[in-house]
Structure 1
């Protein structure tokens, strides 16, 4: 096992009707930015619950944070925070809203000229504290310090990390997910699934506990995912999926083990260029990447096949290859597309995508072995392009 440090200060309040805990959680906060995305929280009753909980606070609302939060939009909130001397940010929504608020929190305290520098690697020295009410489980942003921001003017989608970006608390009420559109439910299953594989499907390093924790999340998502499509108001089902999404990226399963993240890096560029949902890109790229990197991931793919899909063949190669096929079939069973051609992305654009990925990574090769460069990315994209048979 590799050396590691683990730090996670986020207080989780999980369960039905837990939004009612907000007055206690915010008792020492006065000027609050209440930030959210579109109008969905006004349709499912969450907005009114929040307003009631904040009735005795000085509240400033900021709406319109996009699915892929835009730098230009977020900078409007940054100016509002500065002008009104906001002392706490309450992010209400899914991962995009939370990611956006993490940027707002750091950018509002950034002393240099261009807060985009934070996304490009500059370190934030402090941030406005924030808390979350999660309405769409998927990214795990409610319990980590990571954030992903887009900037349309330069066709960029970049992630950044700050120790100041951890929420003070996150409220997770599975019942608020009952009204989610099917597309978002599907995304909320695929996203944590791939978060786990990025930390699990690498190479062996004698980490049995992390392996089994990862396999437990994957098996739970495989068991509970299809139910979520059919049973829109099954509280226990939605609770299990919500907790899987949080556990998939709160730092625990990735400590002491090699990590990949090439699927995410390639997917981010596809989102930036063509506007696909984040999870849609992951469902396309992961099976293709596993095929391409088969020789380097074979041992873990065999474990994956045996322990997650319960495969029992005499041939390890058959187990590994079947596990890749079953992963793609699982995504498709949820209703997800798994090929670039299904999204009408022209094959002639693949070289451009590969080039953009490497530009964004500043020439640093991707993957746990740091061997995936522009040529390899193009080969992965070519595997991911043909129609599914």
Structure 2
């Protein structure tokens, strides 16, 4: 296991009825900008519950943050922060709203062009506004980490940044708030969390037994409970466990002391930016081909994954790996998520555009060994036509 530092200051308030805790979590004299996505936060009553919990605090609302939060929309929120002299941000929604709020928190105090936050991967962020979250869609783990992904429509660019300055001060996780989610979003959340885990786990061994077993347990939990979340939508125990798995998947715990991949995400981001396909669905397209094309470098961990997660031990190494990849693809499909480019109306010509964007954004050496060049990225996408 590699040496590492681990820091995570986010206060988690977990359970039914925990939105009421906002009164204790937000300063009494705060002027709060509540950020959310579409109108579902209003329709479900969550927004009203949040406002009631905030009591007499002065509240300004900002809605309309997209499923892939855009720079253009978020900069409107930055202007409101400055004009209204906001001193606390509260994200009410899923990972997209939380990611967007992180960018607003950093951009509102940033000296210079805010786009540089993303171009520098967060290295230029020296301060950020305090903010909290009320999670309504478990998927990205953004409620307990320091990462954010933002799309700039003008450039068809989807870029990420990280900074210790944008950890949420707190996150409220009430599993009952996921009951009204459409099946599509529930499925997306399960698959998104699954691939977050594999990006930190399916690399190469470094004798990190705790991280490996933790990751494997999380994957098995998703495999067990993901279908139940669709068939038993009001099962609060299922939703609670899935919510916590998604948070743990990207809280930093399983990723400390081990190599990371993230090539699947980088290629998936380009598919989303170009073709407006849900994030979880683009990475579900990419991952099976990624594992297939890179089986040699990932062989030890793929065999471990096959045995410990799927119980596969019979056959040659290649046969076991083939079966593990087929099981992975089958799980995504069982969750209602298609895994081929053709399922989304894309063909070989679409791959050319993705490769062009990867090159334009400097994504020419991806993966845990930085060996996924543009030719390999093309091969991976072709494997998933």
Q: Same fold (TM over 0.5)?
A: yes
The match for 1:226 is 227
Per-residue CA distance 1:286-308 (angstroms, 9 max, x = gap): 00100000111111011001100
Q: CA deviation at 1:363?
A: 5.1
The match for 1:381 is 381
The match for 1:319 is 320
Determine if contact 2:358/2:364 at 8 Å carries over to the other structure: no
Q: Can you give the 5+ residue segments of structure 2 that lack an aligned partner in the other structure?
A: none
Helix, strand or coil at the partner of 1:296: coil
The match for 2:210 is 209
Helix, strand or coil at the partner of 2:296: helix
Provide the C-alpha distance between the structure 1 equivalents of 2:170 and 2:55, rounded to a whole number of angstroms: 19
Q: Can you give the 5+ residue segments of structure 1 that lack an aligned partner in the other structure?
A: none
The match for 2:269 is 268
The match for 2:241 is 240
Determine if contact 1:29/1:87 at 8 Å carries over to the other structure: no
Give the root-mean-square deviation of aligned CA atoms.
1.0
Q: Relative to structure 2, which stretch is displaced further, 194-203 or 44-53?
A: 44-53
Query: What is the TM-score normalised by the length of structure 1?
Result: 0.97
Q: CA deviation at 1:364?
A: 4.2
Determine if contact 1:261/1:366 at 8 Å carries over to the other structure: yes
The match for 1:70 is 70
The match for 1:97 is 97
The match for 1:278 is 279
Provide the C-alpha distance between the structure 2 equivalents of 1:349 and 1:189, rounded to a whole number of angstroms: 27
Change (3 A) 1:226 1:363: closer
Determine if contact 2:28/2:57 at 8 Å carries over to the other structure: no
Determine if contact 2:118/2:161 at 8 Å carries over to the other structure: yes
Within the alignment, does 1:176 sit opposite 2:199 as a pair? no
The match for 1:57 is 57
Determine if contact 2:33/2:81 at 8 Å carries over to the other structure: yes
Within the alignment, does 1:150 sit opposite 2:151 as a pair? yes
Deviating beyond 6 angstroms after TM superposition, the runs of 4 or more aligned structure 1 residues are none
The match for 1:304 is 305
Provide the C-alpha distance between the structure 1 equivalents of 2:220 and 2:67, rounded to a whole number of angstroms: 28
The match for 2:125 is 124
Q: CA deviation at 1:29?
A: 4.4
Provide the C-alpha distance between the structure 2 equivalents of 1:312 and 1:363, rounded to a whole number of angstroms: 36
Determine if contact 2:23/2:55 at 8 Å carries over to the other structure: no
Q: CA deviation at 1:28?
A: 4.1
Within the alignment, does 1:197 sit opposite 2:184 as a pair? no
Provide the C-alpha distance between the structure 2 equivalents of 1:27 and 1:380, rounded to a whole number of angstroms: 49
The match for 2:339 is 338
Provide the C-alpha distance between the structure 1 equivalents of 2:240 and 2:25, rounded to a whole number of angstroms: 22
Provide the C-alpha distance between the structure 2 equivalents of 1:87 and 1:201, rounded to a whole number of angstroms: 41
Query: What is the TM-score normalised by the length of structure 2?
Result: 0.98
Provide the C-alpha distance between the structure 2 equivalents of 1:180 and 1:293, rounded to a whole number of angstroms: 35
Provide the C-alpha distance between the structure 2 equivalents of 1:229 and 1:90, rounded to a whole number of angstroms: 29
The match for 1:355 is 356
Provide the C-alpha distance between the structure 2 equivalents of 1:348 and 1:72, rounded to a whole number of angstroms: 29
Helix, strand or coil at the partner of 1:341: helix
Provide the C-alpha distance between the structure 1 equivalents of 2:298 and 2:238, rounded to a whole number of angstroms: 32
Change (3 A) 1:279 1:324: same
Provide the C-alpha distance between the structure 1 equivalents of 2:239 and 2:183, rounded to a whole number of angstroms: 13
Provide the C-alpha distance between the structure 2 equivalents of 1:7 and 1:363, rounded to a whole number of angstroms: 28
Q: Relative to structure 2, which stretch is displaced further, 37-46 or 14-23?
A: 37-46
The match for 1:186 is 187
Provide the C-alpha distance between the structure 2 equivalents of 1:255 and 1:151, rounded to a whole number of angstroms: 30
Provide the C-alpha distance between the structure 2 equivalents of 1:199 and 1:358, rounded to a whole number of angstroms: 24
Change (3 A) 1:144 1:43: same
